[in-house]
Amino acid sequence: MSAAIAEMDDAPLTAQIAGKIREMLISGELAPGAKLSEQQIAGQFGISRNTLREIFRLLTSQNLLVHIPNRGVFVATPGEASVVDIYRVRHVIQKGAVRAAVRTHPALARMRELLTRTEASREAGDWRSVGTINMEFHRSMVELCDSPRLSASFELVLAELRLVFALFEDTAHLHDPYIALNCELLVLLEAGDIEAASDKLDAYLARSERSVLAALQTAKQKTSPRL
C-alpha cells in the first residue's frame, strides 16, 4: 500500500546499504574528500565491518569512493582532470548513441516524457529534481544503443558527475540553460536528422563542460583558498 518510495526488502543487505550510501554520496550528504571510517559507518548503519567492506569495494569500483590501502576509503573528489575525462567519455558514448538513433526507438519517447517532466519541475522551482531528470534524459539517450554494457559504463560516469554537482550548492544555473538544448536535440533526433543532432550534441557537451569547470573553479576557491 504505502510501499511507494523505497521498499527493497528482499534485496541482499549489502545492496540495500550500498544504495543508501550511494544516495548519500550523490546528494552531497557525504562531502567529497571525507574519510569514511569503517567502524563509524558500520555502526551508523548497524551492519558488520566485514559487510561494509564488501560495499566499499563495490562503490570503489564505481569510482564513487577512493580506496587507499592501509589508509581507508574516502569520498572521491573529482577534480578538473576528472571532469575533462568524464566529458570525453560522454562525447564518445553519446555521439555513438546519436549515430545509432532510429526514429521509432522507445528511448526517444521516454526522452520526450522526461522533457515534459523537466518543464514541470522547473516551473515548480525544484532544481534538485531538474538535475535528476536531466541525468535521466541523457541516460535514456544512451539507451538508443540498446547496449546494456554501454549503458552501465555511462551510468558510472553520470554518477561521478553527480558527485561533482554535489560540490556546488547552487545548481540552478547549471541546468537551466540546457533544457532548451535538450529539447532541440530531441526534436532533431525525432526528425531523424542524425547529422544535425550530432552537431547539437557537440555544442551541448562543450558548453556544459565549460560551465561545470567554471563552477568547479569557483567552488574550489571557496573551500580551500590555497593548496
Name which position in 46, 218, 224, 227 contacts DNA (CB under 7 A): 46
What are the CA-CA distances from residue 207 to residues 145, 154, 155 (Å)?
Answer: 24, 19, 21
Considering the complex, what minimum distance in angstroms separates the CB of residue 85 from a second copy? Answer: 5
CA of residue 125 relative to chain centroid, distance? 20
Of 21-29, 33-41, 153-161, 209-217: span binding a second copy (CB under 8 A) = 153-161
In the bound state with a second copy, the residue whose beta carbon lies nearer, of 171 and 198, is 198
Considering the complex, what minimum distance in angstroms separates the CB of residue 100 from a second copy? Answer: 8
Q: Note whether 12 binds a second copy by CB under 8 A.
A: yes
Do residues 177 and 214 lie in contact, with contact meaning Cβ atoms separated by under 8 Å? no
Count Cβ atoms below 10 Å from residue 155 Cβ, excluding itself: 14
How far is Cα 148 from Cα 193, in angstroms, rounded to an integer?
25
Considering the complex, what minimum distance in angstroms separates the CB of residue 49 from DNA? Answer: 6
Q: Note whether 14 binds DNA by CB under 7 A.
A: yes
What are the CA-CA distances from residue 143 to residues 85, 108, 156, 160 (Å)?
Answer: 21, 9, 14, 19
Considering the complex, what minimum distance in angstroms separates the CB of residue 180 from DNA? Answer: 45
Report the DSSP beta bridge partners of residue 184: none
How far is Cα 179 from Cα 183, in angstroms, rounded to an integer?
6
How far is Cα 165 from Cα 146, in angstroms, rounded to an integer?
28
In the bound state with DNA, the residue whose beta carbon lies nearer, of 35 and 173, is 35
Report the DSSP beta bridge partners of residue 67: 73
Of 38-46, 149-157, 194-202, 210-218: span binding a second copy (CB under 8 A) = 149-157
C-alpha cell at 52: 561494509
**Residue owning grid cell 550528504:** 29
Nearest 10 degrees: Cα torsion 140, 142, 144, 148:
-100
Name which position in 5, 6, 71, 123 contacts DNA (CB under 7 A): 71
In the bound state with a second copy, the residue whose beta carbon lies nearer, of 158 and 167, is 158
Q: Note whether 49 binds DNA by CB under 7 A.
A: yes
Of 23-31, 46-54, 58-66, 179-187: span binding DNA (CB under 7 A) = 46-54
CA 209-135-41 angle, 5° bins:
100
With CB under 5 to 8 Å by kind, the binding choice for 13 among DNA, a second copy, none is DNA
Considering the complex, what minimum distance in angstroms separates the CB of residue 163 from DNA? Answer: 20
Interface residues with a second copy (CB under 8 A) are 11-12, 50, 53-54, 57-58, 61-63, 69, 85-86, 88-89, 91-93, 95-97, 100, 145-150, 153, 156-157
